[in-house]
């Protein structure tokens, strides 16, 4: 590799490491040769990306560089936007000061799609806290029954744990069955009926505005306080997205089978409400909220997002419904001073009725990256890395004008029919930390997410001081 090229690579990687360290982000290790490969990264090349949770929470400093000249930045972005008739709402702000540097209908609410998850995640971390875990338990019931009580854990699984899965251990239904069977056997019980309690959630299982195909297509399961493996019919096969129609009943049936394997003959029962103060027979817990947030942002997991939104409602003493969870999220955002421009109907962003302004998204990201609220850091560490992880994995940021943003842009994506959004962070070429939000489309025609990638790459590559 020529000396000048190698120097540029080293500088690029240095900026990336400064970005990740300063922002409390996951550490990204890239080999220079693979970073500059003229072809889209192969699976082997992407495997060099190692994401390691930062042991120390470090604020995202504004950076040593001077802020961009707004007129220069605007000139570069406007050339890509495509004129005044372009259906794009956009903003770029200085992450440290929140001063707007580029605005195009910045305060005009638009359909956020999955960038809604930024608001959901921020509210969850601010309210229940990053260490909060969701409990699934079994208690004694009546008439020879036991009650499987759902707390809303979206990661509860019946699958065996996998070493190197890339996430903390999920709550295991098998482990819960082992605990419960051991307790029952110790008291001489060898046969039970498995009833189930889903009273932690209320209201309909789908949100206002959700399209009829979302459930049959497997975009999300019916939202319930008790779901195993996100209600997937074939959870061990990631290519199959179909969901069961009644997740709680399916969970009770699976638990009864697991109990029987543990030597306690069991059959699935009915929906009920556990008695207050009933004896606990076993319990398992989800990963901490910080890990749930990182996962739902990186992979844009709709099921986890809806569960996380309901944890906010429960914490605030509201009923755990779609409407109340949405109001709870906004209540927390208001307390943090970032609620203006936010109006949502769900936690995932599947509802086309949601409305968030680009400025609101950029402010949410900036708040999470700042030094005043270290409890919000998982919002930043959960953002996909352009060209390498989550919903920004290849082919995004692997070719053309967007390639300059690979490894340097971290952002949440959003996609619905006729809508594409992108909101996140990047250090520019002068070392200044900038937050941005680009929102394209009106739901009535095709949109090109590649245009948003180019805009973000332009922000990252701007030496516009």
Catalytic: 250? no
Question: Please, are residues 333 and 342 in contact by the beta-carbon 8 Å criterion?
Answer: yes
- Residue tagged active-site, from 117, 127, 224, 389: 117
Helix, strand, or coil (residue 113) = helix
- Enumerate residues 6+ apart whose C-beta is below 8 A from 331: 316, 339
Alpha carbons 304 and 23: distance in angstroms, whole number: 24
Query: Is 253 noted as a catalytic residue in this protein?
Result: no
Catalytic residue among 12, 87, 114, 451: 114
What letters, b where the CB count within 10 A reaches 16 and e where it falls short, cover 430-462? bbbbbbbbbbbbeeeeebebbbbbbbbbbbbbb
Q: How many CA atoms lie within 13 A of 231 on its CB side?
A: 27
CA 137/CA 148 separation, integer angstroms = 6
First vs last Cα of the chain: how many Å apart?
Answer: 30
Q: Which of 12, 224, 286, 300 does the annotation list as catalytic?
A: 300
- Spatial separation of the C-alpha atoms in residues 260 and 184, rounded to whole Å: 12
Spatial separation of the C-alpha atoms in residues 283 and 175, rounded to whole Å: 9
Residue 406's region, left for phi above 0, alpha for psi from -120 to 50, else beta, is: beta
Distance CA 329, CA 126 (A): 10
Place of tokens 């000061």: 97
114 classed as catalytic = yes
CB 420 within 8 A of CB 110: no
Local structure of 116: helix, strand or coil: helix
Structure tokens at 413: 């994506």
In sequence order, the β-bridge partners of residue 343 are: 355
d(CA 403, CA 395): 10
Which residues does the annotation mark as catalytic? 114, 117, 300
């Amino acid at each position: 590799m020529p000396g000048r090229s190698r120097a540029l690579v080293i500088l690029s990687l240095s900026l990336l490491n400064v970005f990740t360290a300063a922002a409390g982000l996951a550490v990204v290790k890239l080999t220079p040769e693979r970073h500059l490969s003229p072809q889209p990264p192969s699976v082997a090349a992407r495997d060099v990306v190692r994401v390691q949770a930062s042991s120390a929470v470090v604020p995202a400093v504004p950076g040593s560089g001077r802020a961009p000249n707004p007129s220069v930045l605007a000139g570069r972005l406007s050339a890509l936007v495509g004129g005044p008739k372009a259906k794009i709402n956009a903003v770029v702000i200085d992450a440290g000061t929140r001063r707007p540097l580029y605005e195009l209908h910045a305060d005009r609410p638009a359909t956020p799609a999955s960038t809604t998850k930024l608001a959901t995640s921020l509210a969850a971390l601010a309210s229940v806290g990053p260490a909060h875990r969701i409990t699934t338990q079994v208690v004694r019931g009546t008439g020879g029954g036991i009650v499987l009580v759902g707390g809303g854990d979206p990661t509860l699984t019946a699958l065996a744990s996998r070493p190197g899965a890339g996430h903390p251990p999920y709550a295991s239904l098998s482990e819960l069955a082992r605990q419960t069977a051991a307790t029952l056997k110790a008291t001489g019980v060898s046969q039970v009926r498995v009833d189930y309690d889903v009273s932690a959630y209320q209201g309909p299982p789908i949100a206002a505005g959700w399209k009829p195909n979302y459930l049959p297509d497997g975009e999300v399961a019916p939202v319930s306080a008790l779901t195993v493996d996100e209600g997937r019919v074939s959870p061990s096969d990631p290519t199959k997205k179909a969901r069961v129609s009644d997740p709680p009943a399916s969970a009770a049936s699976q638990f009864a089978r697991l109990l029987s394997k543990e030597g306690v003959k069991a059959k699935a029962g009915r929906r009920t409400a556990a008695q207050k103060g009933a004896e606990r027979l076993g319990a398992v817990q989800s990963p901490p909220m910080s890990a749930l947030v990182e996962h739902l942002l990186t992979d844009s997991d709709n099921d986890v997002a809806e569960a996380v939104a309901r944890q906010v409602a429960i914490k605030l003493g509201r009923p755990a419904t779609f409407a109340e969870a949405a109001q709870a999220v906004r209540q927390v955002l208001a307390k943090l001073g970032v609620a203006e421009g936010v109006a949502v109907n769900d936690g995932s962003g599947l509802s086309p009725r949601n409305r968030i302004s680009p400025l609101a998204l950029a402010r949410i990201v900036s708040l999470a990256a700042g030094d005043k609220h270290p409890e919000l850091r998982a919002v930043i560490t959960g953002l996909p890395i352009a060209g390498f992880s989550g919903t920004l994995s290849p082919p995004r940021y692997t070719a053309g004008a967007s390639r300059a943003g690979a490894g340097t842009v971290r952002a949440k994506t959003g996609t619905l029919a006729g809508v594409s959004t992108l909101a996140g962070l990047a250090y520019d070429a002068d070392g200044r930390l900038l937050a941005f939000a680009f929102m394209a489309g009106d739901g009535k025609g095709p949109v090109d997410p590649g245009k948003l990638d180019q805009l973000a790459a332009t922000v990252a590559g701007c030496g516009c001081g």
